[in-house]
Amino acid sequence: MINGALIRAARGLLGWSGKTLAQRAQIGTATLQRIEHASYVDRGQYGTIRKIREVLMEEGIRFTDEASGDIGVALTREKAWELQHRDFGQGETGH
């Protein structure tokens, strides 16, 4: 199960604001903020967290789990390459 810290880390890797993630997951910004700052996941939030996880994974985020011995978040190589080249391209064109 992912938690608020992992969600914040995933947003950071993508360069997304909370508002962007909330819009993409079709949830309220205040709901996302509560989840990101909660010390535990409430059972009533499982459906919302599933939406968040799906959106993040569609964007190239991968979550490691306890079964692997690690808990964390990473970008797929493809997404990392895309973000690097997008950012580089914007800098080159002056956008």
What tens digit of pLDDT does each residue of 39-79 get? 877 777 899 999 999 999 999 999 987 677 778 999 888 88
Q: What are phi and psi of 61, to 5 degrees?
A: -85, 140
Average pLDDT of the chain to the nearest whole number? 85
How far apart are alpha carbons 11 and 6 in whole angstroms? 9
Query: For residue 14, what are its two tokens?
Result: 């993508």
The pTM for the full model equals 0.80
How far apart are alpha carbons 44 and 90 in whole angstroms? 41
